[in-house]
Structure 1
Amino acid sequence: MALNIKEISEVIEKQIKNYGKKVVQAEQGTVATVGDGVALIYGLDKAMMGELIIFPQNVYGMVLNLEEGAIGAVIVGDDTLIKEGDIVKRSGKIVETPVGNEMLGRVVSALGNPIDDHGPIKTKKHKPVEKIATGVMARKSVDQPLETGILTIDSAIPIGKGQRELIIGDRQTGKTAIAIDAIINQKGKKVKCVYVSIGQKDSTIAQVVEKLKKHGAMDYTVIVNAGASQSAPLQYLAPYTGVTIAEEWMENGEDVLIVYDDLSKHAVAYREMSLLLKRPPGREAYPGDVFYLHSRLLERAARVNEKFGGGSITALPIIETQAGDISAYIPTNVISITDGQIFLSSDLFNSGVRPAVNIGPSVSRVGSTAQIKAVKQMSGTLKLELAQYYELESFAKFGSDLDETTKATLEHGARIIALLKQRQYSPINQINQSLLLLAIKSHAIKWLPIESMESFKNEVMTHFEKNATAKLIKIKVEKAIAYDEKEVAEATKEIEKIVIKMTKNIHDYKATNYGKQEDFNKLGK
C-alpha cells in the first residue's frame, strides 16, 4: 500500500491549490491504492467510521481507518473491479441490514441480502449493524430457562434467556451439533433463532439448512452466512448483522437465540483485515482491539425490561481450540466475556460419549436460577457425583484393590454417563428430564446393566406419557413446576416398576455387581 512520489506530489499540489478556501464537506474521493480487499482513499475527509462507501461498478466498501488526509476501507465485494484513480462516493449511511419477520426462513449474506433462491426479501425496516449494547439499567435478571433439550446441559450447565454461554472444544467434537439441537428444541416455545455461519464450507451450511427444514425449525430461524470462500470483510460483518436482526425482535418483546459459529474464524478474519490496513499487530499477530471486537458483539445479548421491549437475546458463541488449549488468546478473551462455558472433550467424544460435555471445566454463571424447580430439585448432586466418578476413575486405573464404597461410586457414575448419552436431533423436554434425574437421584438405575440405559430412558418417557397414575404425576409437576415429597415417592415407585419390568430375572441384576440382594428383593414392595 506504499505510495509512489507522483501520487504524493499530486495530493500535495491539490492541497496547496485549495489552501485558504472554505472547506466543503467532501462527498467523493479518489482511490490511491487497492489490493487484497483493502483500499486507501484520499478526499473523503468527512467520512464516518463504519460508513458504507460506493465504488464504481456498484461495489461497496466500509470505512475502518480514519487517518490524517486519507481513509482506509475494506471492500465488501469484488476488489478486482476497482483500480487506482477510481472515484469513490460517500453514502452517508453506516452499514445497515434489513430486519423484521420477513427474514425468517431465509438464508442471507453478511449484508442481509438473500442468497437462497427464494427471491427478494420485502422488508420495510433497516438498522445499522453497529450499535452500542443495552445499558445496565435497561437489563433484567436472567431467571427463565432457555431449554436446549440436552439432558446434560439443562441439568448441570443450565442456560437462561439473556445469557451468553460459550461452546468450546477442539474441531470435530460436536460443537455445532449442540447449537443445532438447541435451535430445533425451540419449536413451539416462541423463541426465534439466528444462526450465523462464519468461514464454514457452503456444503456444511446446506446440510444445516436441510436438517433445520426437516425438523420444521427454518420457520422461526434465519441463517446469516459468510462462507469460507467469501472475503474477510464479509466474515467480519456477519455476526453484527445477525445480532442486529435479533435485536429488532428483542425490542418488540420477543425471545431470540443466536448462534455464532464460530468466533475463532471471526477473529482470524479481523486479524487479516487489520494487518492489511497496517494496524500494529500484538499477541499472536492479533490487533490490540480484538477483545473489543467480541465484547461489543456479545454484550448486545441481554434480557431487557418492559420499558425497553421486554425481550431477550441468548447468545451461544462457538470457539475452536487447538489440542484442548483453552489458555490461548482468543479462547481466554471470549471466556472472560461470556457467562459460562460448555467444554467439549475430544477424549469423551472418541470414547463414544455424545454429547461430549466435560462437566469439570464447564460452568454456568447463571446456575440454577435458569431451571424449573423440578429439574433444580433433582439435579442438585449431579455435578458432584460426576466429579467424584471422574476422580476415582483415574485413580482406579492404577489397578489397586477398591473398597465397596469406591466400587459403588464408580458403578453409579458409569450408569449416569450412560443415561446422559443422547442422540442428535432427539431433544428431551424438562419434565422428562426431571424424571430421568429422579431415577439417578434415587439410585434406581443401579439394578440395571449399563447397556440397558438407553432402553430404560425410552421406557421412562413412554411410561409417564401413557400410564394413568404416572401421567397424573407428570401433569401435577407441569402445573406446580415442583415436586413435593408425596409426588417424589409416587414417581420413584413408578420408576422402580419400570426397573422390575426390565430386570426379568435375578441374573440380570447379578451382572451389575452393584448393591445387595436383600435390597433388590425389597424393590417395588
Structure 2
Amino acid sequence: MCADVTQPDHTPETVLNMLLNAPSPAPSISEIGTVAEVGDGIAIVIGLEQALSDELLQFISGVQGIVLDLEPGRLGVVLLGPPDRVTIGESVTRTHKVVSTNVGTRLLGRVVDALGQPQDGKGAIRDQDTHPVEAEAPKILDRQAISRPLATGIKVIDAAVPVGLGQRQLIIGDRQTGKTSLAVDTILNQKNTDVICIYCAIGQRGDAVAKVIGAIREGGMMERTIVMSAGDEEAAGLAYIAPYAALTMAEFFSAQSKDVLVILDDLTHHARSYRELSLLLRRPPGREAFPGDIFYIHARLLERAGQFTKAAGGGSITVLPVVETQAENLSAYIPTNLISITDGQIYLSPRLVRKNQFPAVDLGVSVSRVGGKAQSRAFRSVAGNLRVTLSQFEELEDFARFGTRLDDATRSRLTRGAAVRAALRQAERDPMPAVEQLAVLVAAMEGQFDGLEEADLMSVMTTLRVSVRHTLGDVAKRIDDNAALCDEDRARIVELGHAARAGLGGDNGTNP
C-alpha cells in the first residue's frame, strides 16, 4: 500500500499570499558620486556631500582614491592607481574607511607596494591584518629616553655621530654621495641582532631598487627585511602614502617589543609627489611652490618614531630619512624642514667624495643630538678626541696649501690627521664589528698608521682586523656588555697594530 504524499500548494493565490507575507529586506542608502575631472594622479568628484577627509573612495573602474580636499560641491581625490583607467562621468562610491595597508610577520622577506600588496611575483600574502596608514603619534608618557645604541657598522658614524634605537637621524647630501649605500650598510649590520628592517623606496628607479634588494639578499638580511617600493612609474598617490605605510608596518612590530629600523629613501621625492598632487588640486603654492602644510606631513610622519615604554609595547622605531640637496645647499626649504624635525643629521659632502673619502661624512656639519647618550662606553672612551683631531687637521691642511714653512710639531699633526682620516675610509657592503672599529681607531690615534701610503695603510688595517677577530674575542664580549676599554685592552690592540705594520709587505692574512 503506497503512502499518501501531500503535494505543496502552488496555486496562484497561495504564492501571492507567501510573497505578501514575506519579510521585507532592510532598506540601504548609498551615496554615488560622479567624476567631473581627471588629472595626472588626481580626480575631481561631485555628488558625495557626506564624504570625510582622508576617506577611501571606490571608483567603478576598480581604482581607489583618497579624499584630500573638501570643498563646497566638489572633492579633490588622490588616485591610488593608473589615472588612465578613470573616465569623466564614472560613478564613485564611499567606503566609509580610511586607506589601510597589510601588516604582519608574513611581509618579512617580501617586496610590497604601499598597500602591502606583493610586487616580487612570489604569490599572495595571506592571513595578514590591515592597519590604517595614518596613526596618532605616541604620547609623551608612552615614550622613554633613548639609551641603547644602533650599531651601523660604519666607523665614522658609530664613533663620531652615533645613532640610538628610537632616534630620527637624517642622512643628507647631494646626488651620488653614497646616501643609499650608507642606509643599506646599516641594514646589513643588523644581521647578528634582532632588529627588523623596513626599506621604503620613494620615487626611485626600478633598477636602483633591484640593486638594493640584491645587496640585502646577498648580505643575508632579506628574511628580516620588508622592502616597500613606490617607484616613479607608479601613481603619485602611492608615493605619498608609502612612508606612512612603512611606519604602520613598523608599529605592528614595535607593539610586540621589537626594535625596528625604517629607511625612508627619500623624502625629497615624497615632498615633490605631494607638491605635484597639491598643485593639480589647485592648492595655493607657497615657498618653492610647495603647499603650506609640507612641514606638517613630514612632522606627523617622523613623530611616530621613538623608544616606547612597556605599557606601549616596549619596542622602538628608529627612522633614517634620506633627503637630497642640490649644490650643497643645506638651507633649501625641504632640508631645513627635516633638519628641524629630526634628532641630528649625517651630512655626506661632495668635497670629500672628490678626495676619494668614503663614506663621505663631514664631521664639521654632522651631529647627533641624542645618540651620544646611547653610545657604548668603549666608543666614548676611544672616540672622544676624534672630532677635535680631524677639525684641527683640516684647518692646518688648508693653511699648509699656501706653502708656508711648517715646524716639526705642525708637520706631525698633519701626518697624524691624514692617517686618522684615511683610517675612517670604509668599503661599501663591509660593516665592521665594534671591536674591529675600535682597534682601527686606537691604532690610528696612537700613530701606528702615520706616514703610510694609502695602499699600505689599507693593508695594515686589513691585517689588524683579522688579528683582532682571531685573538680579541674576550674584548669583543666586554664591548658588547657595554664595558669601556681598559689600559690592558689598549695595550693588546697597540701590540697587534705594531705586528701588522711590521708585517707590511708580507702575508697580511685573509681579507675580511
Instruction: Using structure 1 for the length normalisation, give the TM-score.
Output: 0.88
Instruction: Identify which of 339, 342, 351 aligns with 2:343.
Output: 339
Instruction: Name the CA shift for 1:330/1:368 in 2 (closer, same or farther; >3 Å).
Output: same
Q: Deviations over 1:87-115 (max 9, x none)?
A: 11111110000001111111111221111
1:270: which partner in 2? Answer: 274
Partner of 1:446, secondary structure, is coil
Q: Which amino acid is the alignment partner of residue 421 of structure 2?
A: I
1:500 aligns with 2:502: yes
**Preserved contact between residue 149 and residue 427 of structure 1 (Cα < 8 Å):** yes
2:185: which partner in 1? Answer: 181
1:428: which partner in 2? Answer: 432
Q: Which amino acid is the alignment partner of residue 502 of structure 1?
A: L
CA distance in structure 2 between the partners assigned to 1:367 and 1:450 by the alignment: 31
Matches within 5 A, 1:272-421: 272-421=276-425
Instruction: Name the CA shift for 1:331/1:480 in 2 (closer, same or farther; >3 Å).
Output: closer
1:12: which partner in 2? Answer: none
CA distance in structure 2 between the partners assigned to 1:424 and 1:449 by the alignment: 21
Instruction: Identify which of 447, 450, 466 aligns with 2:470.
Output: 466
Partner of 1:433, secondary structure, is helix
1:69 aligns with 2:73: yes
Instruction: Identify which of 113, 119, 125 aligns with 1:115.
Output: 119
Q: CA deviation at 1:491?
A: 3.2
Instruction: Identify which of 221, 225, 231 aligns with 1:227.
Output: 231
1:138: which partner in 2? Answer: 142
**Preserved contact between residue 98 and residue 123 of structure 1 (Cα < 8 Å):** no
1:202: which partner in 2? Answer: 206
Q: CA deviation at 1:480?
A: 5.9
Q: CA deviation at 1:496?
A: 2.8
**Preserved contact between residue 99 and residue 123 of structure 1 (Cα < 8 Å):** no
1:8: which partner in 2? Answer: none
Q: CA deviation at 1:472?
A: 4.3
**Preserved contact between residue 146 and residue 166 of structure 2 (Cα < 8 Å):** yes
Q: CA deviation at 1:139?
A: 0.7
1:488: which partner in 2? Answer: 490
1:47: which partner in 2? Answer: 51
CA distance in structure 2 between the partners assigned to 1:179 and 1:239 by the alignment: 16
The gaps in structure 1 that reach 5 residues or longer are 1-23, 505-525
CA distance in structure 1 between the partners assigned to 2:475 and 2:64 by the alignment: 61
CA distance in structure 1 between the partners assigned to 2:35 and 2:478 by the alignment: 70
CA distance in structure 1 between the partners assigned to 2:188 and 2:482 by the alignment: 26
Q: CA deviation at 1:436?
A: 1.6
**Preserved contact between residue 149 and residue 371 of structure 2 (Cα < 8 Å):** no
Partner of 1:58, secondary structure, is coil
CA distance in structure 2 between the partners assigned to 1:462 and 1:402 by the alignment: 37
1:456: which partner in 2? Answer: 460
- Quote the sequence identity (%): 43
**Preserved contact between residue 226 and residue 234 of structure 1 (Cα < 8 Å):** yes
2:175: which partner in 1? Answer: 171
CA distance in structure 2 between the partners assigned to 1:312 and 1:367 by the alignment: 14
Q: CA deviation at 1:495?
A: 2.7
Q: CA deviation at 1:439?
A: 1.3
CA distance in structure 2 between the partners assigned to 1:473 and 1:35 by the alignment: 62
Instruction: Name the CA shift for 1:479/1:64 in 2 (closer, same or farther; >3 Å).
Output: closer
1:81 aligns with 2:85: yes
Instruction: Name the CA shift for 1:500/1:293 in 2 (closer, same or farther; >3 Å).
Output: same
CA distance in structure 2 between the partners assigned to 1:298 and 1:480 by the alignment: 29
Partner of 2:61, secondary structure, is helix
CA distance in structure 1 between the partners assigned to 2:464 and 2:358 by the alignment: 20
The structure with the largest alpha-carbon Rg is 2
1:125: which partner in 2? Answer: 129
1:162 aligns with 2:166: yes
**Preserved contact between residue 434 and residue 476 of structure 2 (Cα < 8 Å):** no
- Mean CA deviation greater in 146-155 or 427-436: 427-436
Q: Deviations over 1:39-96 (max 9, x none)?
A: 2222222222111100012111111001123211011112222222221111111000
Q: Which amino acid is the alignment partner of residue 267 of structure 1?
A: A
Instruction: Name the CA shift for 1:65/1:475 in 2 (closer, same or farther; >3 Å).
Output: closer
Q: Which amino acid is the alignment partner of residue 333 of structure 2?
A: Y
**Preserved contact between residue 54 and residue 66 of structure 2 (Cα < 8 Å):** yes
Partner of 2:449, secondary structure, is helix
Q: How large is the Cα RMSD of the aligned pairs? A: 1.7
CA distance in structure 1 between the partners assigned to 2:338 and 2:41 by the alignment: 27
Partner of 2:64, secondary structure, is strand
Q: Deviations over 1:375-426 (max 9, x none)?
A: 1110000011111111111111111111222211111111111111111011
Instruction: Name the CA shift for 1:34/1:503 in 2 (closer, same or farther; >3 Å).
Output: closer
Matches within 5 A, 1:436-455: 436-446=440-450, 448-455=452-459
Q: Which amino acid is the alignment partner of residue 434 of structure 1?
A: L
1:150: which partner in 2? Answer: 154
Q: Deviations over 1:448-477 (max 9, x none)?
A: 44432211221122112224xx44444444
Q: CA deviation at 1:235?
A: 1.0
Partner of 1:54, secondary structure, is strand
**Preserved contact between residue 142 and residue 366 of structure 1 (Cα < 8 Å):** yes
Instruction: Name the CA shift for 1:73/1:154 in 2 (closer, same or farther; >3 Å).
Output: same
2:216: which partner in 1? Answer: 212
**Preserved contact between residue 180 and residue 265 of structure 2 (Cα < 8 Å):** yes
**Preserved contact between residue 25 and residue 46 of structure 1 (Cα < 8 Å):** no
1:241: which partner in 2? Answer: 245
2:264: which partner in 1? Answer: 260
CA distance in structure 1 between the partners assigned to 2:158 and 2:482 by the alignment: 19
Q: How many residue pairs were aligned?
A: 479
Partner of 1:224, secondary structure, is strand
Could you say which structure has the higher helix fraction? 1
- Mean CA deviation greater in 209-218 or 284-293: 209-218
Instruction: Name the CA shift for 1:59/1:300 in 2 (closer, same or farther; >3 Å).
Output: same
Q: Deviations over 1:212-246 (max 9, x none)?
A: 11111111111111111112111111111111111
**Preserved contact between residue 40 and residue 71 of structure 1 (Cα < 8 Å):** yes
Q: Which amino acid is the alignment partner of residue 491 of structure 1?
A: I
CA distance in structure 2 between the partners assigned to 1:71 and 1:225 by the alignment: 28
**Preserved contact between residue 473 and residue 490 of structure 1 (Cα < 8 Å):** no
Q: CA deviation at 1:37?
A: 2.1
Instruction: Name the CA shift for 1:477/1:105 in 2 (closer, same or farther; >3 Å).
Output: closer
